[in-house]
Each structure stands twice: as C-alpha cells, then as structure tokens.
Structure 1
Amino acid sequence: MCYWLVLMYICTNVPDAYYVGLINYITAQLRLLHIALPKMATLEPDAVLQEKLAHTYGLTIKADVPADAGAQDVIQDRVYARLVECIRFHQEIMKCVDEMESVLSVTVLIQFFTSTLVICLTAITVISSESLQFSAYSCNWPETDARFRKTLRICLARMQRPISLTACKFYKLSRETFLLLLNGSYSYFTLLLQMNQKND
C-alpha cells in the first residue's frame, strides 16, 4: 500500500512541477514581448531587451542608423524590422504553447479531474460523517434499556466530531476549508496580477 501511495505521489507531483515550470517559461516570454512592443517604434533599441531576444530566439535588432537627414527610409526600415521581429517572437510563443498543449492537454485534464474528484469525495465523506449522529438518534432508543441508552449517549457525543482528514494537521479538509481554498486562490491570483501590473 505504501509503495502504491509513493508511486501515486510521484505520478501526480512530477507533472505538476513540470507544468508549472513551462507556465513560468511562457509567462517570462510574454513579459519580454510585452517589453518589446512599446519600444519597437523608438530609434534606439533597448540593449538589455536586444540581448534577451538574441539569447532566447536568436532575434537581432540592429541600431546602426545613419544620423543624416536622408536616413528616414533606413530608420523606417529598422522600425519595420523590429515589428517583424516582435511578430516572429509572438509566433514562437504561440508555437511553444501549441506544442505544450499537444503534450500536456491529457495530463492537465486528468489532473483537474482527479483534483476535483478528491475534493468532492472528501466533502461527501465529511457530510456523511456529520449525519451519523442523526441516524443513530433515529433508532428506537426510547424502548431500550438503560445500558443501551447510556452507551448511545457516549456514541452520540463521539459522533458530534465529524470524521475528517487534515493536511499535515494544519488544515482540516471540510466544506469550509474548500471555500477558504477557493477564496485564497482568487486572492493570490489578484495579488499576482497587481504585482505584474506594477512591474509593467
């Protein structure tokens, strides 16, 4: 049993870590494109951005624009070349996302399905355990002897504490925890979104 539990743990967590790494990679590439787009019509290229684009995709933005007045066509060609490079960069990102989806779409579907199933089954277990005391109280206890009623009271007192699992004794898995998890996920999402917008 322990062997299978360890194997299941590895099978569920390794794809998650891989998926998170790929998502972070795509996010970083989108941030680079986000930086490049507003600067593509400027005359001087951003040296850091130029280096990142060259390192990641081998894209080059040339800055050797002549300073004389007859160089307007050359300047416009350079600006247009930057637009083309940004378009190529975006196409590479979309290609990467398409490849990622083709490789991981089934795995991600299984992960979401199993996570949802685990949460639902845990909630059902908690609800079933909460209703045990009502089922026990519904028995024909008034017609029983004192020994039965005394034992039933002890049993009912014990059943007031529902059966539930905990996450390393920190969180009890219950309906309330599920709602807190949803609220916390949305709060983290809005926090990360605000941090992203501040960095832009």
Structure 2
Amino acid sequence: MRSGRTADMEKPFTWSSSGRSVLNLNIRHLCLVGVWPLGTSHLYQLYVIFVFAMGVWNFAEGSLCVSYCWRDLEATTLVVANMFTMGSGNVKMAFYMLNRPRYNSMVRRVDSLMSLQSESCSSNPALENIVQRSRRRAARLTLGMLLFMASQGIVWFPMPLIADPSERRLPFVQHPWDNNTSYYQLSYAVQCVVALWMAQISMGMDCLFVTIMILVAAQLEVLALRVGKLRVDESGAGEGRRIASASSVAHEKMYSNLCFCVKSHQEILRFARLLNDTMSPIAMTLFAFNVLVGCVVLFQTTYSSDITAVIKCLVFLPILGGQVYLYCWAAHQVKDQAEAVSTAAYSCSWVDAGTSFKRALRILICRAQKPLILTAGHVCPINREAFLSMVNASYSYYALLGQMNKRSVD
C-alpha cells in the first residue's frame, strides 16, 4: 500500500496536470527553460540535453580563457564570476535530473498539504486570507525575480557594442587565443543565449523552493491560529442533566479538533523533512557559488579599469544578495511560524479541558518547541544569521583578493 502511494506521488506531471498544482507557475517556467519535462516527448529530452550542453560549453569556454589570462587577476576574476554564475544553473539542473521522482513527490505533497486544512480555512475568512495572501506573495515574488533576472540582459548583452563598437569584444568571456576574430557574431549570440537560459534556470529553481517555504509558513500560521482558538463550546446547553451531557460532548469535540491539529502538524513536519532533503544541495550550491561570485564582483567593482565591467557588476550585485536573502528570509519565516504553534497552545482553553486533551496538548507543545530548521547541505542552517555570515565570508574573500592585487602591483 505504501509503495503504491509513493509511486503515485512520484508520478510525472503533464502540462494539463501541472495547471492544477499550486506551483503551476514555477513548474511551467522550469519546463519552458528546459528543466522540468511535462510529458514524455523525445524532442523535449533532446531539448534538455541541448540546454545542459550549453552550460557545459560555457564552463569549458571560461576555463580555456582563464588558462590564457590567469596572470591577469582583473581579467581572471571577471571570467570566474561568469563561470560560477552560469555554472550554478547547470549544477542545479543536474541535481534535478538526478532526483526527478523526488521533485514530483515534493510538488504533489505541497498540493496535499494545502488541502489538508482547506476545510478549516473555508469556514474561517481570517484563515483563508492567510492562505490566499501567501499564494499571491509567492506568485508576485516569482514573477518579479524572473523578470528582473531577464532584464539584466538589457545591461549586459549590448554593453560591449555600446561602449566601444570598434573593438570586437564579447559580452562575458573573451577569446584571447584569437582576439575574438573567429566566429565573433556566433560567439556573441551563444554567450547571450547561454547567460539568459542559465540565469532563468538558476533563479527558477530558487523561486520554486522559496515559494514552497512561503506556503509552508502560511500553513503553520493557520495551524497556530487554529490551536490558539480551541475552546469548549457549550452553547445551546439546557438545564439539569442536559448540561452535563452537553459539556461532555463539547469536551470531546475540543479533543477531536486538537487531534486534527496534531495530525496537521505531523504532516507539515513530515513534509519539511522532504523539503530539506530536496532543497539542501540546491541551497548549498547557491551559498557556495554566490559567496565566491560576490567577492570577485566586489573586486571588479573596486579595482577594474573597465567602466563597462564596473557598471555590469554594480547592477549584478543586488541579484547575488537577493538570491541568498530570499532563502534565508523564507526559511526563517518557517522557523518562526513553527515556534508560534507552541506559543499558541498556551492561548487555548486548556484549563477547562479534560485530561486526555491536556496530555495531547503537552505532546504538541514539546514537539513544536523543537526548532524547525532548514539547512544547506545538511550542515549550514538557513536563517537570517546565515545571510549575514554569507556577506561576511564574501567580504573576507574580497579583502584577500585585494591584498593579492596590491602585492602583484607592487
């Protein structure tokens, strides 16, 4: 029975079935950029291979360029920044392809999680507003970040042609072995396409996980409000023996509502473990790559003599910080809302409740007091403190590069 349920959860999505998912925007975007197949088309499989090969080509082109200009720290760091930025999308794509069933299961479990408390939300406008607000926030955030990422092409792609049309310069990686003379137009077009696709893949994967964390935090917020409003409802009780009977029924209903809350809490925690296992390598890739890219972009902004490189790096810096901050902010929201469940338990009418209710409530409080922490690589906690740590680490590497540059100049 369990294996059959697991197989259903891991069943691939189609384009039509993805439209019924709460994550339809994220899934369909990843499908369009060549990551998430919605169907069994062989042509799409070739498309996936082609997109992945473009990322590999970008890394190979950058590595070859570094081998020619490794003595020039300014040129090397600019190429390395591009390699790691594009490589991040390729690595995230590889993680997805190695764990496709887990990603399908994760999305289906999100949909199941959203329907778990739907009955309580439908009868309570305040709870329904929390859920709808989280969905709108996630959709706006996804669209905003993807469009902002695409808008970077307006700055990066035409910059070499605008700054100095007489020089045959490429937008990201130069070809010092032939001074950009061979296949210049083709190389220019390929670099722009690869940059656009890999950036959309990388940001698309990040938005998927941030969206899920926003929805999980909303479900925990709904659960906390439900727990906090558990009351003994004895309205309509008559006189005499009817009072005792109504009181008994009210206590049983209160206990039944608590049991449903406990079940919902367990389902959310069970899903959080799956989310952590799936997201952990992606988050670790993002943190490691963005720390390295951040330090070299800061170096370019400070020491580069090329004004076009400085402008591009200044425009790109908010993206690096924004990607890391989104993870840390969303994961911190999950942690805060999980702790709120324990606090809300003290607000319910437990004093007037029966022994079985108090016993179940103690179990819920003890479990909710255990911090719900999402991690990167199962090592680094993802929270606001982690964001500050990433910024400090990036600045430390930047200072090291600055010292190396001074020594080479001296």
**Separation (CA, whole Å) in 1 of partners of 2:309 and 2:208:** 34
Q: What are the within-5 Å matches in structure 2 for residues 23-42 of structure 1?
A: 23-42=213-232
Q: What are the within-5 Å matches in structure 2 for residues 34-113 of structure 1?
A: 34-43=224-233, 68-71=242-245, 72-113=247-288
**Separation (CA, whole Å) in 1 of partners of 2:259 and 2:214:** 25
Offset of residue 8 of structure 1: 1.3
**Contact residue 126 and residue 162 of structure 1 kept, 8 A:** no
User: Aligned residue for 1:164?
Assistant: 310
**5+ residue gaps, structure 1:** 45-63, 130-158
Cα distance 1:123–1:94, how it changes in 2: closer, same or farther (>3 A)?
Answer: same
**5+ residue gaps, structure 2:** 1-190, 345-410
**Separation (CA, whole Å) in 1 of partners of 2:252 and 2:276:** 36
Letter of the 1:34 partner, please give it.
A
**Separation (CA, whole Å) in 1 of partners of 2:282 and 2:315:** 28
**Separation (CA, whole Å) in 2 of partners of 1:160 and 1:10:** 27
Offset of residue 92 of structure 1: 1.0
User: Aligned residue for 1:13?
Assistant: 203
SS at match of 1:40: coil
Letter of the 1:43 partner, please give it.
D
Offset of residue 110 of structure 1: 0.8
Q: Higher relative contact order at CA 8 Å, sep ≥6: structure 1 or structure 2? A: 2
TM-score by length of 2: 0.28
Matched, 1:2 2:224: no
Cα distance 1:5–1:73, how it changes in 2: closer, same or farther (>3 A)?
Answer: same
Letter of the 2:260 partner, please give it.
E
Deviations 1:74-107 (A, max 9, x none): 2211111121111111111111111111111111
**Separation (CA, whole Å) in 2 of partners of 1:108 and 1:73:** 50
Letter of the 2:310 partner, please give it.
S
Identity among equivalent pairs (%):
18
Runs of 4 or more, structure 1, over 4 Å off, are 64-67, 159-163, 171-174
**Separation (CA, whole Å) in 2 of partners of 1:31 and 1:121:** 40
**Contact residue 232 and residue 251 of structure 2 kept, 8 A:** no
**Separation (CA, whole Å) in 1 of partners of 2:205 and 2:265:** 26
- How many residues were matched structurally? 134
**Contact residue 164 and residue 173 of structure 1 kept, 8 A:** no
Please report the RMSD computed on the Cα atoms of aligned residues, expressed in angstroms.
3.7
**Separation (CA, whole Å) in 1 of partners of 2:196 and 2:220:** 36
Question: Residue 127 of structure 1 is aligned with which of 286, 302, 319?
Answer: 302
Offset of residue 163 of structure 1: 5.0
Kindly name which structure, 1 or 2, has the bigger radius of gyration based on alpha carbons.
1
**Separation (CA, whole Å) in 2 of partners of 1:173 and 1:13:** 13
Offset of residue 160 of structure 1: 10
**Separation (CA, whole Å) in 2 of partners of 1:42 and 1:16:** 44
SS at match of 1:41: coil
